[in-house]
């Protein structure tokens, strides 16, 4: 039984025929759409390395069956920067050294973008830490990650204010 789905990934439309309904969104991105930026860390929703935005919400792509994201809008780490211009979260991760090996980083960054959009943590470090706890970093760059998210949240809030002023 094959399934035709149509989804937008980083702004580009993809029409995909899946011969196998078992394919997860993570494996669809990595193995079929050749977008390996999203990482597989546990494949079971226990580490957050595979975090992407589906219709603006951060989710674990490893537990999302590809057939269920028909008509969805997906944003991955490859779609965050605009050309050479990095997203404020990406910039902040570099400045605060919010990673070491870089493997969990795409998931951390997508999770941070989701967290900031959710708007419940603000720039409160304890709330940021709690909100980022679904993303495990074995190198343990947690201090830099939390500070990067705080910094990016502040910068983005300031940018918003400037725009609305």
Partner 1 sequence: MRAFDYTRPASIEEAVAAWTPGAAYLGGGTNLVDLMKTGAMGPAKLIDLTCLPGLDAIEVKGDGSTRIGALVRNSDLAHNRDFAARFPMVAEAILAGASAQLRNAATVGGNLVQHTRCPFFQDGISACNRRDPGIGCDAIGGDTGSMAVLGWSQSCIATHPSDFAVPLAALDAVIEIAGPNGSREVPMAEFHRLPGDTPEKETALEPGEIVTAIRLPAEAAAFAAHSRYLKLRERTSFAFALVSAAAALVIEDGRIAAARLALGAVAAKPWRVAGAEALMVGEPPSPELFARAATAAMEGAMPSGDNAHKIELARRTAARALARAAAGTPAEMPALPASVFGDPAHA
Partner 2 sequence: MPDPIPMPTRFGSSGQPVTRRDGVAKVTGAATFAADNHPNGLLHAVYVPATIARGRVVSMDVAAARAHPGVVEVYTPDNSLKLAGDPDAKPFMFAFRMHVLQTDRIAYANQPIALVVAETIEAANEGARLLAPVYEAETPRVTLDDAEGYKPEAAGFGAAETVHGDVEAGHAAAAKSVDLTYETPSQYHNAMETHAVVAEWDGDRLTLDLPNQAIVMSKAAYGYYFGIPPQNVLIRSPYLGGGFGSKAMSHAPVMLAIAAARAIGRPVKLMLRRDQMFGPVGHRGATRQHIRIGIDGDARMTVLDHHSLSATSTFDDFIEPAANASQGLYDAGALRSSHTGVRLDVGTPGPMRAPGEASGSAVLECAMDEMAEAAGMDPLEFRLKNYAETEPGTGKPYSSKALRECYAQGAEHFGWAGRPLEAGTMRDEAGMLVGWGMGTALFHAPMFAAEARATLRPDGTGLVETGAADMGQGAWTALAQIAADALGLPLDKVEFRAGTSDLPDGGVAGGSGHTATAGGALHSAGMDAIARLAEIATADPASPLHGAGNATIVARDGRLVVEGDEERGEDFATIIARAGGEAVVGTGGASRPPEAGAAHAMYAHGAVFAEVKVDPELYQMRVTRLVGAFAAGRIINPKLAESQLYGGMIWGLSFALHEEARHDRRTGRIVNGDLAGYHVPVNADVTGFDVITVHEDDPYVNALGIKGVGEIGITGTVGAIANAIRHATGTRVRRFPIRIEDLLAGG
Using rule CB under 8 A, residue 22 touches partner 2: yes
Interacting positions 102-121 with partner 1 (CB under 8 A): 111, 114-115, 118, 120
- Give the count of alpha carbons within 13 A of 153, CB side only: 23
Residue number with CB closer to partner 1 (39 or 83)? 39
Q: Please tell me whether residue 143 binds partner 2 under the rule CB under 8 A.
A: yes
Closest CA to 41 of 110, 94, 121, 143: 110
Within residues 32-61, the interface with partner 2 by CB under 8 A covers 34-44, 46-47, 49
- Minimal distance, residue 31 CB to partner 1, in Å: 15
9 binds partner 2 (CB under 8 A): no
How many alpha carbons lie under 13 Å from residue 80 in its C-beta half-sphere? 24
Shortest distance (Å) from residue 23 CB to partner 1: 10
3-state secondary structure of 59: strand
* Calpha distance 50→48 (Å, rounded): 5
Pairwise CA distance, residues 128 & 94, whole Å: 18
Contact between 147 and partner 2 (CB under 8 A)?
A: no
Q: Is 85 in the site for partner 2 (CB under 8 A)?
A: no
């Amino acid at each position: 039984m094959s399934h035709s789905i149509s989804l937008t990934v980083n702004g580009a439309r993809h029409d995909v025929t899946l011969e196998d309904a078992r394919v997860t969104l993570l494996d669809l991105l990595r193995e079929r759409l050749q977008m390996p930026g999203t990482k597989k860390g546990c494949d079971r929703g226990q580490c957050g390395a595979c975090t992407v935005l589906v219709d603006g919400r951060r989710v674990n792509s490893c537990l999302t069956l590809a057939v269920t994201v028909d008509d969805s809008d997906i944003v991955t780490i490859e779609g965050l920067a605009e050309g050479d211009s990095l997203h404020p979260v990406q910039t902040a991760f570099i400045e605060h050294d919010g990673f070491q090996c870089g493997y969990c980083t795409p998931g951390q960054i997508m999770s941070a973008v989701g967290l900031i959009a959710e708007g419940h943590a603000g720039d409160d470090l304890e709330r940021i830490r709690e909100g980022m706890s679904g993303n495990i970093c074995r190198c343990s760059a947690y201090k830099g990650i939390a500070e990067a998210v705080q910094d990016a949240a502040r910068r983005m809030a300031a940018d918003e204010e400037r725009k609305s002023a």
